């Protein structure tokens, strides 16, 4: 943006015409496909992988937006998988809330242009509200690679500490990373059935390695991207799912009559390897927190995130074949797919299609910030929270909401149920509201309107 236009920030024009220079967007020419993670990535150097987004010169050109100061003591939130669908919206909301952010993403299921759009939307927010632009740094690496250790070390400084067992002085670390949000899991139910080892390697083994590295650098504030699939066949009970429907250690809770009851760890009907990787991930985290009380870990059990930022700039655009409902609907509306397959029309629901708890992706993003804040003030040990609306919507009802937003009909094909699917899955949101102070703001109608806005703008830009 030229200096003559610095008094005006036109969102649409900026997205279409004002691309950042490539030097700010690429630190390596390599695109890592889903099957080629760089597990031997070299140690980081000052001119590889890492760059501020944007530079001071670029910000000055874009309307004199102020950067937050950086003197080596500033704190960051690390978002692993921060350019994916939920990760990018969470990164944006963190910046809007004033957090410095380090994004780690290997671009196996995302695009580097997402980084530019996140930066642009955050810069616009800061300019409108006359606040300093937080620091945004990007590292194009696989979180399982050797480079992850180098990255964590870069943002840590060695300090002397006394070992609690031996009483000897040892070298410890003090990190600028105040918390980590982990999104970098594979997430397709169907793909996990076909490629279980790939899912266990990334989602489970990768998590264990990550926790070991974080522990080494004394980073123990951790938010885990979990899933409602951990409830398994309990979802079919016909009532909202509560967090205590799945626990990993014995807990005491109160029933509806106010009586104290003991809940034992049980699992029922985990229907696919993806669900099992999320269950194992939670179990590992619960055990880690049980062994070391310094850990503050929250597992957020998502239900069905949909929608996108109302700007129409960020949306869900995976590299692979989408399997979730709304991305497939997007393909139908764009003409990339002839019709929507509705998997199962004989479920015991009001119209025969499966019931899901759809939640706006920005509500999910805000849930992560609420969890970070809770962890910083009250969190201890391992905690779980549902992120859902608490309202069940059938697949046909969701389709009709998008048809209304788009003003056009969506062709449907009724086909057999998929392996691993359940008929009903709706969240109880009482715990998140009471303890995190978090509730949803957006409706299914808003989800559909924002998604159609995104699809329309993508069509215009192409």
Q: Which residue numbers are catalytic?
A: 274
Q: How far apart are CA 297 and CA 380, in angstroms?
A: 7
Residues 41, 79: contact at Cβ < 8 Å? no
3-state secondary structure the chain: CCHHHCCCCCHHHHHHHCCCCHHHHCCCCCCCCCCCCCCCCCCCCCCCCCEECCCHHHHHHCCCCCECCCCCCCCEEEEECCCCHHHHHHHHHHHHCCCEEEEECCCCCCCHHHHHHHHHHHHHHHHHHCCCECCEEEECCCCCCCHHHHHHHHCEEEEEEECCCCCCEEEEEEECEEEEEECCCCCCHHHHHHCHHHHHHHHHHHHHHHHHHHHHCCCCEEEEEEEHHHHHHHHHHCCCECHHHCCCCCEEEECCCCCEEEECCCCCCCCCHHHHHHHHHHHHHHHHHHHCCCCEEEEEEECEEECCCCCCCCCCCCCCCCCCHHHHHHHHHHCCCCCEEEECCCCCCCCCCCEECEEEHHHHHHHHHHHHHHHHHCCCEEEEEEECCCCCEEHHHHHHHHHHHHCCCCCEEEECCCCCCCCEECECCHHHHHHHCCCCCCCHHHHHHHHHHHHHHHHHHC
The number of residues making up the chain comes to 462
């Amino acid at each position: 943006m030229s200096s003559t236009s610095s008094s005006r920030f036109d969102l649409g024009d900026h997205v279409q015409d004002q691309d950042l220079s490539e030097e700010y967007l690429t630190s390596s020419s390599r695109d890592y496909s889903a099957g080629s993670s760089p597990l031997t990535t070299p140690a980081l150097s000052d001119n590889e992988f890492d760059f501020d987004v944007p530079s001071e010169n670029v910000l000055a050109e874009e309307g004199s937006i102020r950067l937050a100061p950086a003197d080596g003591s500033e704190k960051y939130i690390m978002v692993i998988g921060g350019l994916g669908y939920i990760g990018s919206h969470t990164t944006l909301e963190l910046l809007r809330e004033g957090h410095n952010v380090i994004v780690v993403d290997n671009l196996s299921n995302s695009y580097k242009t997402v980084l530019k759009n996140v930066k642009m939307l955050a810069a616009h927010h800061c300019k409108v509200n006359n606040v300093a632009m937080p620091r945004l740094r990007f590292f194009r690496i696989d979180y399982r690679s050797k480079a992850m250790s180098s990255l964590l070390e870069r943002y840590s400084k060695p300090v002397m500490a006394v070992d609690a067992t031996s009483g000897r002085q040892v070298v410890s670390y003090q990190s600028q990373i105040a918390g980590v949000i982990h999104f970098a899991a594979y997430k397709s139910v169907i793909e996990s059935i076909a490629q279980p080892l790939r899912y266990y390697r990334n989602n489970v083994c990768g998590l264990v390695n990550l926790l070991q590295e974080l522990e080494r650098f004394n980073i123990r504030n951790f938010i885990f991207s979990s899933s409602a699939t951990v409830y398994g066949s309990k979802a079919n009970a016909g009532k909202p799912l509560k967090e205590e429907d799945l626990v990993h250690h014995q807990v005491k809770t109160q029933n509806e009559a106010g009586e104290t009851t003991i809940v034992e760890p049980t699992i029922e009907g985990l229907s696919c390897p993806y669900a099992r990787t999320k269950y194992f991930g939670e179990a590992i985290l619960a055990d880690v927190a049980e062994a070391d009380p310094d850990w503050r870990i929250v597992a957020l059990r998502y239900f069905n995130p949909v929608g996108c930022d109302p700007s129409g700039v960020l949306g869900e655009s995976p590299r692979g074949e989408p399997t979730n409902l709304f991305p497939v609907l997007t393909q139908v509306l764009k003409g990339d797919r002839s019709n929507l397959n509705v998997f199962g029309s004989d479920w015991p629901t009001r119209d025969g299609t499966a019931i899901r708890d759809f939640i706006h992706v920005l509500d999910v993003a805000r849930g992560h910030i609420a969890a970070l804040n809770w962890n910083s003030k009250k969190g201890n040990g391992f905690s779980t929270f549902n992120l859902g609306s608490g309202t069940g919507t059938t697949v046909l009802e969701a389709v009709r909401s998008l048809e209304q937003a788009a003003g056009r009909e969506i062709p449907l094909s009724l086909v057999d149920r998929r392996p691993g699917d359940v008929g009903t899955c709706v969240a109880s949101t009482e715990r998140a509201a009471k303890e995190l102070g978090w509730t949803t703001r957006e409706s299914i109608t808003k989800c559909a309107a924002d998604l159609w806005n995104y699809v329309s703008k993508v069509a215009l830009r192409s």
